[in-house]
Chain A
Amino acid sequence: MKKFLLSSIIVIIGIVFVGRLSYLQIFSFSPDQVLDDPAIKAIYDYPERGYIYDRKGELLVGNQPAYDIMVIPREVRALDTLEFCALLGIDKEKFISTLDKARIYSPRLPSVLVPQLSKEDYARLQEKMRHFEGFYIQKRSLRYYDTTSGANVLGYISEVNEGDLAKNPYYVQGELTGRSGVEKQYEEILRGRKGVQYIQKDRFNRDIGPYLEGSLDTIPEQGIEINLTLDKTLQEYGERLMHGKHGGIVAIEPATGEILAMISGPTYDPALLVGRERSKNYSLLHYDTIAKPLFDRSISFEKEPGSPFKTLNALIALQEGVITPETKFTCYHGFYVGRTKRGCHCGGGIRDMHTGIYKSCNAYFAGTFRKIFDKYPTADEAMDVWEKHIRSFGLGGYLGSDLYTGRPGLVPSKKLYDKWYGDNRWSSSTIISLAIGQGEVQVTPLQLANMTAAIANRGHYFIPHILKKIDGKEINDPDYIEPKHTTIDKKYFEPVISGMADVYKLGTARGVQIPGVEIAGKTGTVENYTKIDGVKTQLTDNSVFIAFAPVDNPKIALAVYIENGYYGARYAGHIASLLIEKYLKGEITRKDMEKRMLEKTLEQEYAKPYSGEEFKINEYVW
């Protein structure tokens, strides 16, 4: 026993050691440890970020050089601080405190002393830098915007944060990444791939040569340029027209689903989010909680569609065979729900589909909506059918576009009403507001524009998208080049479209006709409410307009949604008309109308709810 005690201990220790070593070196080992290794430093070589062009090849976003003044504290020699500060344009206290911070961070490693000098400053400094030991100028690339438009569509880039680093191992601290819009959506295409060079370090962080003779090093891959479907001219013009107005505009090419313009008002100059003033500007934009310039109203703004929605109810009724275009309803300057009368502005009288659409008669569509529901034995079944038709136009859900943000809108279902009113305790009369595009239904301007494109195409649409070409080659993603069909047969579109064409010729929008262009459109004047100090308060109606043109061969379909613009034919109708003319003809013939739109603002309307005083809505001043 005693003889074997020591031998057993020796053997047990051997087994424990081999066990522990195999755990460390075989089970815990992962070959991908190069980046963990404190002895190996990766030095990155960043490629230039890809340029962004519009559909015609006009430059939207490029790059510009910027110059950082770097300092290696250990190498700094005595210098004329005052002269140096004067050169850099900073004060002495700031200079000393920044230098101290750099020294605390590391005396051996470079730190940024003054970030992002302009080209002019650089030219001035370049000559004199060699007099100041320990300082040097490092070039880096910043975004350059060849337009003041499209800030929300294009998005911006900023330094990666902890979250990005955790999600995607590609990034390292201090790198830039797309933060919103196209920059975010197409980040991987635009950024390229950084090159890397591995350097062997010792524990004092000094370079002692390339690691493995550079066999793991890679060269950078350039960022790839892309073309957007946007039309730079139209986008810029639309933003000028939106001056002083809140709302969203989306224009789509119906034949392809390409987004021609995506305008959110108010917007900002994208160049504000580049350079030394970036964070100051960002705070200003971010904390503007009334105008919300960073909020993209063209895709994230959900509101009732109003009268343009009537066109869908007409199409559904025709598809379901409950009416013909000749079916007539009588308008008593309104219609009755039980004993309550709901108003109508159309002037009253007998309405068929044609007059119903162009005069936007509420009574006609209430009748139509009831007929759809009367076809089915229960409201539940009718609701399912109605919902299916509506959703086939791309409403009530994300469209699947390649836009970075967006909202799904809302199409109510029987579940919602069962929950609100109880099973079998609601009917078409309860939800009659849906007939005229009010009530529970909510859409975004993008969805409204897409719905218009589907009508323009007489029954199908292409998912709206923003990317046209990658590296000069047209995209061929089947999601964007195969049509999505609505549940309405092609033949039912003509009567509705002829009604929409007469909206321009005879109806609510006859004031904004474009000479020589036939347009189909539909106005919307949408009641809207807000809460002021907890009290539900009605505000001036939202002005909505959808349109496509030309009627027979649509080149452009658009939706304009102007907050508190009152009648649909006013702001929305005018802006839509100008945009269509600009896009189809290239120039504006109606200079008066253009001048009026560029000058008129709704600021006084937006200020009302914040004034703290009683205010009037829907004033006739125009």
Chain B
Amino acid sequence: MPNLTAGRSSRSTSMSGKSILKRIDWLSIFIYVTLVIIGWISIYSSTFSETDSSIFNFGTLHGKQLFFIGTSVVTILIILALEANFYERFASLFYIIAVVLLLGLFVFGKTIAGATSWYDIGFFNLQPSEPAKVATALALAKYLSDIQTDIKQFKHQIYAFLIIFIPAILIIPQPDPGSALVFFSLIFVLFREGLPLVYLSIVFLAIIVFITTLIFGTIWVSIALVFLLILFLFFKKKSFKVPVFPLISIVAVTILFSLSVNFVFNNVFEQRHRDRFSLWLRLEKDPAKLEQIRKTIGYNTYQSEKAIESGGSFGKGFLEGTRTKGDFVPEQHTDYIFSTIGEEWGFMGTATVVLLFTFFLLRLVYLAERQKSAFARMYGYGVISILLIHYFINIGMVIGILPTIGIPLPYFSYGGSGLLFFTILLFIFLKLDSNRLKEGI
């Protein structure tokens, strides 16, 4: 890791060089601003009522969101004004504060909709899991970029996992499994920094076997596995030596896993879990039961899918979404905000948003890869992982290809803590990026 020494020396500060306005990545800022604007328009549309169409009424949700956008702009200015190495230096402190805040919820937490996830601070409810995401990304980057850390060592892998798991474990009992899941995405940072990909392959294989077993049954999955194995052994080059017996044992273990999936699904899972899976994987074919699922646990997904579908190619037009107006999709201004875009702007709108996110994330990958400082690169990867998992799970859920897991769509969903800390998450990275050329001076 040749950058490490350069990274360490960046503590020597120099205010010389071009203004931050010249050095910052304007393309990312442009996409960020676009996403925030589209997001706000969607919130306006889904909370709009004929009687009160004023934009600046802070009694309305879109009015409040406008206030949060203003707060975010002020925060951006503060972040950019602070020195770049401030974030690296105080990463551990931030992490400790975040963990304390999460612990504090067990005593002082405010319960909204069954989840004790908020602090009530006057006009606004703070959700500490949001700052915890930023703090954990910073702390993980700091730990991994430490010269003494070697991710190939099992002990260091354990420490890295602990940094990730502690906040996640504190969040699960709130209960907020969605937010907890977000922390696991930070494992991507470990893979980038050298964690063997074999872990990822195992998880991936397990997911594939789990899904295919539920859909096709153990017998077909086993047949397919054996068939693939024979095919592989038959067509491999003579020169390509593979350990045959370990390979066979992998197949055997996989088949055993497939068998256990059936057992777990039928005997360990509760009916509500089974219902969710059967909804997600379209296992239920009986129309009467399907109708029942649609009215109960599948209601949100069904309504949001229908709302998106009814938008067609070009949508019904701004403020014309009938399902949006009728409030048929629950939580439409928060987790299901994407369905508003689907109904009112059609495929044009949804495809634009997906493309914007794709370009945005790819741009951030590009920025992360060009960092000379290991800390900045790893933090960058942390940012990307967190944004990616939110975007993937949220839109995947709204368009019905993933099971229902309640997490917001970054920069879109209504919510002060969310917008503010997604902004902080991003702009700390942009600040680090703007500083990259000065390092090593």
Binding site for B on A (CB under 8 A): 2-3, 5-7, 9-11, 13-14, 16-18, 20-22, 24-26, 28-29, 31, 33, 36-40, 200-203, 208-209, 211
- List B contacts of A7 (CB < 8 A): 362, 365
Knowing A6-B365, A20-B401, A39-B326, say if A14 contacts B305 (CB, 8 Å).
no
Distance (whole angstroms) from the CB of B242 to the closest CB of chain A: 20
* A17 B399 Cβ-Cβ under 8 A: yes
Docked CA distance A16–B350 (Å): 13
* B322 A211 Cβ-Cβ under 8 A: yes
Nearest chain B residue, comparing its CB with the CB of A1: B197
Q: Rank and list the top 7 A-B pairs by shortest CB-CB distance, nearest first.
A: A39-B326, A14-B358, A25-B347, A39-B322, A29-B312, A202-B326, A10-B361
B328 close to A (CB within 8 Å): yes
B269 close to A (CB within 8 Å): no
Distance (whole angstroms) from the CB of B371 to the closest CB of chain A: 12
Q: What are 7 pairs between A and B in contact, CB < 8 Å?
A: A3-B192, A10-B358, A14-B357, A17-B399, A21-B342, A39-B322, A209-B50
Most B-side CB within 10 Å, residue of A6, A9, A18, A211: A6
DSSP class of A's interface residues: helix, strand, loop or mixed? helix
- List B contacts of A200 (CB < 8 A): 322, 325-326
- List B contacts of A6 (CB < 8 A): 188, 192, 365, 381, 384-385, 388
- List A contacts of B399 (CB < 8 A): 17, 20-21, 24
* A25 B357 Cβ-Cβ under 8 A: no
Q: For the complex, count residues of B whose C-beta is within 8 A of A.
A: 44
- Flag B364-391 by CB within 8 Å of A: 1 or 0 each: 0100010000000000010011001001
- List B contacts of A21 (CB < 8 A): 308, 342, 347, 350-351, 354, 399
Knowing A21-B347, A21-B351, A24-B309, say if A11 contacts B358 (CB, 8 Å).
yes
Nearest chain A residue, comparing its CB with the CB of B401: A20
* B313 A208 Cβ-Cβ under 8 A: no
- List B contacts of A5 (CB < 8 A): 188, 191-192, 197
- List A contacts of B357 (CB < 8 A): 14
Extra contacts, 8 of them, besides A6-B388, A200-B325, A201-B326 (Cβ < 8 A), are: A13-B388, A14-B354, A17-B395, A21-B399, A29-B313, A38-B326, A203-B327, A209-B50
Knowing A2-B191, A10-B362, A31-B312, say if A25 contacts B342 (CB, 8 Å).
yes
Which of these, A11, A25, A202, A208, contacts B362 with CB under 8 Å? A11
Most B-side CB within 10 Å, residue of A10, A16, A211: A10
Docked CA distance A150–B194 (Å): 92
B418 close to A (CB within 8 Å): no
* A38 B323 Cβ-Cβ under 8 A: yes
* A16 B388 Cβ-Cβ under 8 A: no
DSSP class of B's interface residues: helix, strand, loop or mixed? helix
Docked CA distance A201–B326 (Å): 6
- List B contacts of A10 (CB < 8 A): 358, 361-362, 365, 388
Scan residues 389-419 of chain B and give those whose CB is less than 8 A from a CB of chain A. 391-392, 395-396, 399-401
Knowing A2-B191, A38-B323, say if A18 contacts B351 (CB, 8 Å).
yes
Most A-side CB within 10 Å, residue of B309, B346, B354: B309
Nearest chain A residue, comparing its CB with the CB of B360: A10
Nearest chain B residue, comparing its CB with the CB of A31: B312
- List B contacts of A17 (CB < 8 A): 354, 395-396, 399
Docked CA distance A2–B362 (Å): 14
Docked CA distance A24–B384 (Å): 28
* B388 A9 Cβ-Cβ under 8 A: yes
B310 close to A (CB within 8 Å): yes
* B326 A25 Cβ-Cβ under 8 A: no
* B312 A14 Cβ-Cβ under 8 A: no
B233 close to A (CB within 8 Å): no
Which of these, A9, A16, A25, A36, contacts B312 with CB under 8 Å? A25
Distance (whole angstroms) from the CB of B399 to the closest CB of chain A: 5
Distance (whole angstroms) from the CB of B1 to the closest CB of chain A: 13
* B313 A25 Cβ-Cβ under 8 A: yes
Docked CA distance A5–B192 (Å): 8
B311 close to A (CB within 8 Å): yes
Docked CA distance A17–B353 (Å): 10
- Flag B165-195 by CB within 8 Å of A: 1 or 0 each: 0000000000000000000000010011010
B224 close to A (CB within 8 Å): no
Nearest chain A residue, comparing its CB with the CB of B368: A6
* A3 B313 Cβ-Cβ under 8 A: no
Distance (whole angstroms) from the CB of B325 to the closest CB of chain A: 6
Nearest chain A residue, comparing its CB with the CB of B354: A17
- List A contacts of B354 (CB < 8 A): 14, 17-18, 21
Docked CA distance A2–B195 (Å): 10
B20 close to A (CB within 8 Å): no
Docked CA distance A14–B399 (Å): 13
* B328 A24 Cβ-Cβ under 8 A: no
- List A contacts of B256 (CB < 8 A): none
Docked CA distance A6–B367 (Å): 13
Knowing A24-B305, A25-B342, A33-B310, say if A3 contacts B369 (CB, 8 Å).
yes
* A24 B308 Cβ-Cβ under 8 A: yes
Docked CA distance A21–B309 (Å): 8
* A28 B309 Cβ-Cβ under 8 A: yes
Nearest chain B residue, comparing its CB with the CB of A19: B401
B355 close to A (CB within 8 Å): yes
Distance (whole angstroms) from the CB of A7 to the closest CB of chain B: 5
- List B contacts of A29 (CB < 8 A): 309-313
* B392 A203 Cβ-Cβ under 8 A: no
- List A contacts of B361 (CB < 8 A): 10
- Flag B190-207 by CB within 8 Å of A: 1 or 0 each: 011010010000000000
Distance (whole angstroms) from the CB of A262 to the closest CB of chain B: 44
- List A contacts of B346 (CB < 8 A): 25
Docked CA distance A292–B358 (Å): 74
Nearest chain B residue, comparing its CB with the CB of A5: B191
Docked CA distance A22–B312 (Å): 9
Scan residues 309-365 of chain B and give those whose CB is less than 8 A from a CB of chain A. 309-313, 322-323, 325-328, 342, 346-347, 350-351, 354-355, 357-358, 361-362, 365
- List A contacts of B401 (CB < 8 A): 16, 20
Nearest chain A residue, comparing its CB with the CB of B189: A6
- List B contacts of A37 (CB < 8 A): 310, 322-323
Knowing A7-B365, A21-B399, A39-B328, say if A13 contacts B323 (CB, 8 Å).
no
* A2 B328 Cβ-Cβ under 8 A: no
- List A contacts of B347 (CB < 8 A): 21-22, 25-26
Distance (whole angstroms) from the CB of A25 to the closest CB of chain B: 4
* B308 A25 Cβ-Cβ under 8 A: yes
Most A-side CB within 10 Å, residue of B50, B326, B351: B326
Docked CA distance A10–B322 (Å): 33
- List A contacts of B362 (CB < 8 A): 7, 10-11
Docked CA distance A33–B343 (Å): 13
Docked CA distance A33–B357 (Å): 30
Docked CA distance A20–B400 (Å): 9
Distance (whole angstroms) from the CB of A239 to the closest CB of chain B: 48
* B192 A26 Cβ-Cβ under 8 A: no
- List A contacts of B325 (CB < 8 A): 39, 200, 202, 208
Docked CA distance A24–B323 (Å): 16
Distance (whole angstroms) from the CB of B110 to the closest CB of chain A: 27
Distance (whole angstroms) from the CB of B178 to the closest CB of chain A: 17
Distance (whole angstroms) from the CB of B412 to the closest CB of chain A: 14
- List A contacts of B351 (CB < 8 A): 18, 21-22
Nearest chain B residue, comparing its CB with the CB of A16: B401
Docked CA distance A39–B396 (Å): 24
- List A contacts of B308 (CB < 8 A): 21, 24-25
Docked CA distance A427–B91 (Å): 112
Distance (whole angstroms) from the CB of B50 to the closest CB of chain A: 8
Docked CA distance A247–B351 (Å): 72
Docked CA distance A45–B98 (Å): 63
* A203 B326 Cβ-Cβ under 8 A: yes
Docked CA distance A20–B351 (Å): 10
Distance (whole angstroms) from the CB of A59 to the closest CB of chain B: 46
Distance (whole angstroms) from the CB of A478 to the closest CB of chain B: 45
Distance (whole angstroms) from the CB of B324 to the closest CB of chain A: 8
Distance (whole angstroms) from the CB of B260 to the closest CB of chain A: 28
